[in-house]
Amino acid sequence: MDALAQFSLAGRRALVTGASRGIGRACALGLAQAGADVALVARDEAALQSLAAEVQALGRKALVCPADLAGPSACEGVVARAEEALGPIDTLLYAAGVTRRAPAAEVTQGQIDECLDVNSRSAFAMAQAIGRRLLAAGKPGSLIFIASLMSRGARPTTLPYGISKMALTGVVRGLAVEWAPHGIRANAIAPGYVRTALAAKVYDDPQLREWVTSRIPQGRWQEAEDYAPIAVFLASDASRVITGQIIFADGGWTAAL
């Protein structure tokens, strides 16, 4: 098969969390543009309905699946509903994420748990629910998670978020090594600073925004849409020998001294 054809997601069925906005929304649309049917998961049903209309206009199926992933126990039901509506799920794009900011001396266990629950525990639970079904069916799959620069470094006041995004790398590598023999891959995309709601407090602070921009060799913040083609690549056969990787897509931030 020629190289370009290997990027096709025709016949794939993806479940995307955090699909109502930002990176999750952009990646869900990108996966559909590449041929996948998509189950759209987030708390904001109206935003999901709007995205579903865009997906359906592409000729792809879209399931609107409102859910709050603050509790990992919700994941099994979400996957069951997606499979009932679309058929077996073979691709996960886990972009749901929350942050809690406070000086380390004031961070609470509750803030750490809130970040771990959504960003790490539910990420694992969703992957486990999909992976169990793939293993039982003997089918391959691609599990993609949105990590962060804070999967490998810290900025003051972001400790709860950093713990959760570093924990996520353990999810990726653990799943990758256990499920590689079964054709199920796990990888993460680690964005830099993206102009989304999650980083708005930083972008809206002129001093912080300038500090961030000065650390990006490409000289610009990333946009959510920058991550859609990377998600398509990791979901597709084009990346078949890539698993267990944290791919920093950060405008060169982590390459610089």
Instruction: State the catalytic residues.
Output: 161
Shortest Å, Cβ 101 to ligand GCO: 6
Are 101 and 158 contacting, i.e. CB atoms less than 8 angstroms apart? yes
Of 53 and 200, the one with the shorter C-beta distance to ligand GCO is 200
Query: Token pair for residue 64?
Result: 């609107």
Q: Is 169 in the site for ligand GCO (CB under 6 A)?
A: no
Which contacts of 99-107 are long-range, i.e. CB under 8 A and separated by 24 or more positions?
99/158, 99/160, 99/161, 99/198, 100/160, 100/161, 101/157, 101/158, 101/160, 101/161, 101/201, 102/157, 102/159, 102/160, 103/156, 103/157, 104/156, 104/157, 104/159, 107/159, 107/160
Minimum CB–partner distance for residue 162 and ligand GCO (Å): 8
In terms of CB distance, is 11 or 153 closer to ligand GCO?
Answer: 153
Question: Which one of 24, 131, 192, 251 is in contact with ligand GCO (CB under 6 A)?
Answer: 192
Measured from the CB of residue 228, what is the shortest distance to ligand GCO in angstroms? 17
Instruction: Name which of 181 and 206 has its Cβ closer to ligand GCO.
Output: 206
Question: Quick check: 161 binds ligand GCO (CB under 6 A)?
Answer: yes
**Which is nearer to ligand GCO, 152 or 182 (by Cβ)?**
152
Minimum separation from the CB atom of position 48 to ligand GCO (A): 22
Please say which residue, 222 or 243, places its beta carbon nearer to ligand GCO: 222
- Which of 130, 149, 159, 163 is the binder for ligand GCO (CB under 6 A)? 149
From 87, 73, 101, 5, select the one nearest 39 (Cα to Cα).
Answer: 87
Tell me the DSSP string of 98-158.
------GGG--HHHHHHHHIIIIIHHHHHHHHHHHHHHHHT--EEEEEE--GGGT---TT-
Q: Pseudo-torsion of CA 40, 42, 46, 48, nearest 10°?
A: -20
Q: Which of 193, 221, 233, 248 binds ligand GCO (CB under 6 A)?
A: 193
When the beta carbons of 161 and 227 are compared against ligand GCO, the nearer one is: 161
User: Site mask, ligand GCO, residues 68-107, x = CB under 6 A?
Assistant: -------------------------------x-x------
- Give the count of beta carbons closer than 10 Å to the beta carbon of residue 47: 17
Q: Please report whether residue 155 would count as binding ligand GCO according to CB under 6 A.
A: yes
* Minimum distance from residue 199 beta carbon to ligand GCO (Å): 4
Strand-pairing partners, residue 42, are 66
Interface size with ligand GCO, residues (CB under 6 A): 14
Residue numbers 196-255 binding ligand GCO by CB under 6 A: 198-199, 202
The β-bridge relationship of strands 246-249 and 37-42 is: unpaired
Q: Which residues bind ligand GCO (CB under 6 A)?
A: 99, 101, 148-150, 155, 158, 161, 191-193, 198-199, 202
